[in-house]
Structure 1
């Protein structure tokens, strides 16, 4: 299960001023406590970068079910919405949504990577949309 973690950190901006910012991460663990431990590890491991001022402010279960590729430096994560259409027991058409993360340099590359990924066994699903996320890394 994926959890999204938000860290409040103090960083120096381009003008040399210290500003509080919120950084977003995602982690793949089984328990909420493990997600918190990963956030604290990120916090403790990078305190020098954050001038010693950082805190885990939020942990939520993510609706993301899969990460397509590895995070690459300088490339953001995009969240793709996939739609699966099926017929229920009463004969009614139903839709279920699932979300997938893909690391890409831009939305065009994200779309291409998702199309390739879907050809590997998700042919019955439809790509409904892709949006850039604030998630910085998988921890």
Structure 2
């Protein structure tokens, strides 16, 4: 199943290191099945993040194919990856672009992390561009129901194996 990522811009009063309060607009990324769910989830995440009043100014579908967090990294980078395929009919190379969101501390590390992510790719690819993203944080969807569903499926699978073994005996 494909994940749809939504960029949400939120305007709120933020207290800086100096103790000064300023109204800022920050961008967050989350996955959801619809704009309505994205709005509900960003409301929930921001309520936990700040006690101040906030306003969602924009929600749009992000064009990221994959999101890759890395330990000990504090910034997000948008990596443009061009997959190279050979068109057998015309004999020409055809490039298909995809965008990855990769966490890193600087551009060099973002390039290294993108290369690491693409290491298992069988085809040829190039990385024509990496830019720092305005995204402050990513909120992936975690569901207890999914974990419970997987556990239930494992139990059913075990019961099926046991009943098949009983029939053989």
Q: Which bracket does the TM-score occupy, shorter chain normalised?
A: 0.7 to 0.9
SS in 1 for 2:44: helix
CA deviation map 1:50-91 (0-9, x unaligned): xx2211111100011101235x56610111001123355862
Between structures 1 and 2, the one with greater strand share: 1
Per the normalisation by structure 2, the TM-score is 0.70
**Greater shift in the superposed pair: 80-89 or 52-61:** 80-89
C-alpha distance in 1 between matches for 2:38 and 2:127: 29
| Greater Rg by CA | 2
Q: CA RMSD in A?
A: 2.1
Tell me which residue corresponds to 1:134.
134
Per the normalisation by structure 1, the TM-score is 0.84
CA deviation map 1:68-127 (0-9, x unaligned): 235x56610111001123355862543321100111111111111111111112542211
- Could you list the runs of 5+ residues in structure 1 that have no partner in the other structure? none
Tell me which residue corresponds to 1:67.
67
- 1:21 is the counterpart of 2:24: yes
Instruction: Choose between structure 1 and 2 for higher RCO, CA contacts under 8 A separated by at least 6 residues.
Output: 1
Tell me which residue corresponds to 2:108.
108
Corresponding residue pairs, total: 135
User: Any conservation in 1 of the 2:73–2:104 contact (CA below 8 Å)?
Assistant: no
